[in-house]
């Protein structure tokens, strides 16, 4: 199936009749997946500054409200239908990882589940990886997204569409009047320029080197901000808080970052991760060791955002490099 | 290799070989030709990894706060902006001159917008100067952001700052890079006090924005690092520029970090304060 590029917005308009459509778009200050207003142009040149996690796991989310006068507790139940048109394969993989945490482990997160069930993903196969992209070293194929409901690939003046799921079939039916015949084999292969070599047992080797001096040098330049975790599509830590107004109030949860000092500070003031060395080690190990140990796959999807935006230019790909280097040195 | 880089490597190597310093902070290469990363040199041979080009952009003075009681002085390469950052932190009693070994490197301007408003490319404090100073080119409008905001109506300004801080993800990179944001403990991290709500909302974001602006206030050295590091590309220098502009217009010529002695304008308590403009 194909859709002519000049019919793309008409197709989005058909989808927008029954769901809120999000597109990668340039903002005044930074690019992100934004609500499509019926006119805005998609931004496909490179991946967005902000990842899509906001749509499933908002930076701040009301969980429930209570009113002691009325004796009521009202739980939030997000029910909005959302379609992301043009989500990158790395970001689709990140959603699969979030699913593992919020849906597939022993506890099911009701807020995430409500949003996830209402989400349809139309992936945009990457044509132009940025210099910091390395998803094809992290088991993502830049031009394909098996976890998406529909995959679309650039083929000159049209997009080639591949439908993967029943949700995808629904999208196909909605936009059928704009579709024509066309095969997916017109799609040229795409390769990231940044390559990362890593041994199969990377997670074991990293854990074995928990006390290695390498963490000190890796974290020398770290400023301990939350930038890398907040722009990472797979960093999912949150904090829970309450806002009380007399006898009424709200419980909320909001993003948190293991790079902040108060993240691991305990009552009484003791902090088991006292410096940036321990905090950066934790972030890297969570991505490359703890998550693989538990779920059998790397949590880093190679989107390159943290490399691109780190104020100190820290680079997570240096971690597998060090392990690989010491392997080849014997 | 350019001559200046050779001089820097030589100076770092000499300092490390002599054992006068514990380590030296400069810039090193990354996998990307247009990015450098702060480099910590501990052994003489590390000096070979030093880089000095138009991308030697990140501020490196703030790292001095990570090591307040070093066994030996810390070597730091200082451009104009780094030297003002160091003056700032010395004046604020956060670092001590005797713990520093400052290798002065007159700067040639980097591939970054903030360098177009730089007023001091030459270091203002150093132990040795590695090459000759050159005059700083006429800077662009010092208050370019503040002027743009002043031109708006009151409602326009509210809309402008709301839009800016709606985009803020509160990563605090602007705080962590800023040499004037040097409190021992930031109010933001005192979570039990509730000073700064942890929710991401317009009001909590604006509270952070306004508090940061006033805590930095007159101590801003105009290095522009806060804007460089902001992952959302927010024009937050407009806030401190406005404070500095008011001081310069109401009180007289003032620049922060040009030395480590001059008094601040806002961060002082004086019973005889005329309070004329409060
Ligand atoms: S690695 Fe970079 S982005 Fe992450 S906390 Fe450190 S300085 Fe900030
Ligand atoms: S760790 Fe960095 S490269 Fe990996 S998924 Fe997160 S932001 Fe992307
Ligand atoms: S660096 Fe930017 S996004 Fe981060 S807290 Fe500062 S203003 Fe907000
Ligand atoms: S320009 Fe920004 S980073 Fe630099 S001193 Fe002023 S507030 Fe701090």
Write down the pLDDT at residue B268: 78
- B12 and B90 together in one domain: yes
Atom 7, ligand 4: which residue's CA is nearest?
A: B220
Pairing of strands B36-41, A179-180: unpaired
Write down the pLDDT at residue A28: 92
- A172 and A210 together in one domain: no
- A153 and A217 together in one domain: no
pLDDT for A329 beyond 60: no
Structural domain ending residue among the three candidates B129, B161, B179 = B129
- A126 and A229 together in one domain: no
- B148 and B231 together in one domain: yes
Consecutive H or E run containing A292: helix A291-295
Write down the pLDDT at residue B1: 57
Q: Is B273 exposed, middle or buried (0-12, 13-18, 19+ CB in 10 A)?
A: exposed
**Residue B138 domain flag:** no
User: Which of A51, A126, A302, when mutated, tests ligand 2's pocket best, judged by the most ligand atoms within 8 Å of its CB?
Assistant: A302
Write down the pLDDT at residue A265: 86
- A271 and A303 together in one domain: yes
Mean pLDDT over residues B70-85, rounded? 98
Which residue of chain A is at minimal alpha-carbon distance from B61?
Answer: A221
- B161 and B262 together in one domain: yes
pLDDT for A313 beyond 80: yes
Give B22-38 pLDDT, tens digit per residue: 999 999 999 999 999 99
Write down the pLDDT at residue A231: 97
If contacts are CB pairs under 8 Å, which of residues 223-242 in chain B contact chain A?
225, 228-229, 231-235
Ligand 4 atom having least distance to the Cα of B174: 3
Give A182-215 pLDDT, tens digit per residue: 775 667 889 999 999 999 999 999 999 999 999 9
**Residue A126 domain flag:** yes
Structural domain ending residue among the three candidates A157, A186, A215 = A186
How far is C-alpha B153 from the chain's CA centre?
A: 30
pLDDT for B278 beyond 60: no
Compare A106 and B165 and report the one with higher pLDDT.
B165
Write down the pLDDT at residue A185: 63
Query: How many residues are recorded in chain A?
Result: 330
pLDDT for B194 beyond 90: no
How far is C-alpha A109 from the chain's CA centre?
A: 17
CB contact under 8 A, B169 and A223: no
- B216 and B249 together in one domain: yes
Q: Is A15 exposed, middle or buried (0-12, 13-18, 19+ CB in 10 A)?
A: buried
- B206 and B261 together in one domain: yes
Give B116-167 pLDDT, tens digit per residue: 999 999 999 999 999 999 999 999 999 999 999 999 999 999 999 999 999 9
> What's the sign of the alpha-carbon dihedral B133, B135, B140, B146?
positive
Structural domain ending residue among the three candidates A186, A220, A245 = A186
- The response to whether residue A222 sits with its C-beta less than 6 Å from ligand 1 reads yes
Structural domain ending residue among the three candidates B129, B162, B180 = B129
- Asked which of A38-47, A81-90, A263-272, B107-116 is least confident by mean pLDDT, the reply is A263-272
Write down the pLDDT at residue A327: 61
ipTM of the complex: 0.94
Mean pLDDT over residues B253-272, rounded? 86
Q: C-alpha angle A140/A204/A303, rounded to 5°?
A: 25
Mean pLDDT over residues A11-18, rounded? 97
Mean pLDDT over residues A288-310, rounded? 96
pLDDT for A4 beyond 70: yes
Query: What span, in angstroms and rounded, lies between the C-alpha atoms of A106 and A109?
Result: 10
Write down the pLDDT at residue B253: 92
Write down the pLDDT at residue A91: 98
**Residue A240 domain flag:** no
**Residue A191 domain flag:** no
Give B168-181 pLDDT, tens digit per residue: 999 999 999 999 99
Query: What span, in angstroms and rounded, lies between the C-alpha atoms of B129 and A268?
Result: 48
Q: Name the DSSP class of B50.
A: B
What is the count of structural domains for chain B?
2
- A181 and A219 together in one domain: no
- Whole domain around residue A316: which residue ranges? 202-234+258-329
- B148 and B261 together in one domain: yes
Query: What span, in angstroms and rounded, lies between the C-alpha atoms of B154 and A103?
Result: 47
Compare A28 and B265 and report the one with higher pLDDT.
A28
Write down the pLDDT at residue A310: 97
Can you read off the two tokens belonging to residue B61?
Answer: 């003075």
Q: Which residue has the tokens 């002082």?
A: B268
- B109 and B156 together in one domain: no
pLDDT for B277 beyond 80: no
Supply the Cα-derived Rg of chain B in whole angstroms: 20
Q: What backbone torsions phi and psi does residue B173 show, to the nearest 5 degrees?
A: -60, -35
Give A129-139 pLDDT, tens digit per residue: 999 999 999 99
Write down the pLDDT at residue B157: 96
**Considering CB atoms only, which of A59, A252, A256 is closest to B169?**
A59
Ligand whose nearest atom lies closest to the CA of A47: 2
Can you read off the two tokens belonging to residue A261?
Answer: 């000092």
The count of other CB atoms within 10 Å of the CB of residue B95 is: 24
Give A217-238 pLDDT, tens digit per residue: 999 999 999 999 999 999 999 9
- B164 and B214 together in one domain: yes
- A142 and A228 together in one domain: no
Considering only CA atoms, which of B7, B24, B26 is closest in space to residue B16?
B24
**Residue B175 domain flag:** yes
List the strands of the sheet with A32-35, edge to edge: A32-35, A20-25, A82-87, A119-124, A150-155, A158-163, A2-4, A179-180
Can you read off the two tokens belonging to residue B155?
Answer: 């409602």
- B262 and B188 together in one domain: yes
Query: How many residues are recorded in chain B?
Result: 278
Look over chain B and give the mean of its residue pLDDT values, rounded to a whole number.
94
- B20 and B93 together in one domain: yes
Write down the pLDDT at residue A234: 98
- Whole domain around residue B159: which residue ranges? 144-267
- B117 and B149 together in one domain: no
**Cβ neighbours of residue A260 closer than 8 Å, sequence gap 6 or more:** A224, A226, A279, B172, B189
How far is C-alpha B102 from the chain's CA centre?
A: 16
**Residue A196 domain flag:** no
**Cβ neighbours of residue A223 closer than 8 Å, sequence gap 6 or more:** A276, A311, A312, B62, B173, B176, B177, B229
Contact A317, A194 (CB under 8 A): yes
Q: What backbone torsions phi and psi does residue A76 show, to the nearest 5 degrees?
A: -70, 140
Write down the pLDDT at residue B161: 96
Give A33-81 pLDDT, tens digit per residue: 999 999 999 999 999 999 999 999 999 999 999 999 999 999 998 999 9
Chain B residues in contact with A314 (beta carbon < 8 A): 37
How far is C-alpha A66 from the chain's CA centre?
A: 32
**Residue B88 domain flag:** yes
Chain A residues in contact with B177 (beta carbon < 8 A): 223, 225, 311
**Considering CB atoms only, which of A29, A276, A314 is closest to B232?**
A29
**Cβ neighbours of residue A117 closer than 8 Å, sequence gap 6 or more:** none
- A147 and A217 together in one domain: no
- A212 and A124 together in one domain: no
Place B272 in a pLDDT band, splitting at 50, 70 and 90.
confident
Q: Which residue has the tokens 């589940």?
A: A113
Place A330 in a pLDDT band, splitting at 50, 70 and 90.
very low
pLDDT for B222 beyond 70: yes
- B82 and B40 together in one domain: yes
Give A129-184 pLDDT, tens digit per residue: 999 999 999 999 999 999 999 999 998 889 999 999 999 999 999 999 999 987 75
Compare A118 and B267 and report the one with higher pLDDT.
A118
What is the count of structural domains for chain A?
2
Write down the pLDDT at residue A183: 72
pLDDT for B100 beyond 60: yes
Can you read off the two tokens belonging to residue A245?
Answer: 């107004």
């Amino acid at each position: 199936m194909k859709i002519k590029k000049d019919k793309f917005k008409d197709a989005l308009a058909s989808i927008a009749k029954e769901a809120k459509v999000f597109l990668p778009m340039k903002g005044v200050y930074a690019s992100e997946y934004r609500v499509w207003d019926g006119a805005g142009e998609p931004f496909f040149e490179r991946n967005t500054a902000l990842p899509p996690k906001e749509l499933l796991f908002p930076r701040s989310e009301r969980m429930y409200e209570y009113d002691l006068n009325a004796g009521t507790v009202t739980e939030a139940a997000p029910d909005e239908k959302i379609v992301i048109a043009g989500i990158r394969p790395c970001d689709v993989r990140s959603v699969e990882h979030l699913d593992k945490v919020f849906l597939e482990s022993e506890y099911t997160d009701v807020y995430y589940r409500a949003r996830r069930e209402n989400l349809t993903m139309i992936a945009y196969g990457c044509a132009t990886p940025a210099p910091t992209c390395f998803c094809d070293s992290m088991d993502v194929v830049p031009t394909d997204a098996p976890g998406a409901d529909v995959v679309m690939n650039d083929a000159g003046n049209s997009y080639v569409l591949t439908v993967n799921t029943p949700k995808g079939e629904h999208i196909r039916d909605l936009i059928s009047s704009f579709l024509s015949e066309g095969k997916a084999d017109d799609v040229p292969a795409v390769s990231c320029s940044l390559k990362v070599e890593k041994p199969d047992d990377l997670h074991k080797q990293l854990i074995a080197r928990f006390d290695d001096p390498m963490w000190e040098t890796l974290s020398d330049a770290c400023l301990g901000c939350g930038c890398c975790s907040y722009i990472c599509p797979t960093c999912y830590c949150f904090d829970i808080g309450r806002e009380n107004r007399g006898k009424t109030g709200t419980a909320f949860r909001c993003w948190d970052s293991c790079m902040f000092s108060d993240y691991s500070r305990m009552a009484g003031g003791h902090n088991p991760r006292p410096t940036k060395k321990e905090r950066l080690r934790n972030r890297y190990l969570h991505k490359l060791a703890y998550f693989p140990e538990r779920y059998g796959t790397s949590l880093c999807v190679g989107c390159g955002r943290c490399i691109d935006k780190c104020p100190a230019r820290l680079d997570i790909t240096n971690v597998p490099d060090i392990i690989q280097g010491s392997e080849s040195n014997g | 290799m350019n001559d200046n880089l050779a001089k820097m490597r030589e100076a770092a190597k000499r300092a490390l070989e002599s054992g006068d310093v514990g380590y030296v902070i400069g810039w090193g290469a990354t996998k990307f030709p247009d990015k450098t990363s702060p480099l910590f040199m501990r052994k003489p041979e590390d000096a070979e990894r030093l880089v000095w080009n138009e991308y030697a952009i990140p501020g490196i003075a703030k790292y001095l706060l990570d090591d307040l009681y070093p066994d030996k002085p810390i070597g730091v390469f200082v451009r104009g902006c780094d030297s003002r950052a160091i003056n700032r932190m010395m004046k604020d009693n956060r670092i001590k001159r005797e713990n520093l070994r400052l290798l002065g490197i007159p700067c040639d301007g980097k591939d970054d917008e903030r360098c177009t408003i730089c007023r001091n490319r030459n270091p203002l404090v150093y132990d040795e100067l590695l090459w000759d100073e050159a005059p700083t080119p006429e800077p662009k409008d010092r208050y370019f952001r503040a002027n743009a905001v002043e031109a708006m109506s009151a409602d326009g300004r509210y809309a402008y700052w709301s839009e800016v801080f709606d985009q803020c993800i509160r990563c605090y990179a602007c705080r962590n890079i800023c040499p004037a944001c040097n409190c021992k403990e930031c109010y933001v991290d005192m979570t039990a006090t509730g000073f700064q709500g942890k929710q991401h909302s317009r009001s909590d974001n604006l509270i952070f924005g306004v508090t940061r602006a006033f805590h930095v206030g007159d101590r801003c050295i105009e290095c522009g690092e806060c804007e460089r590091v902001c992952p959302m590309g927010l024009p937050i220098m407009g806030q401190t520029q406005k404070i500095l502009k008011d001081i310069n217009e109401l009180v007289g010529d003032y620049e922060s970090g040009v030395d480590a002695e001059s008094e601040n304008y806002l961060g002082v308590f004086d019973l005889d304060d005329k309070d004329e403009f409060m």
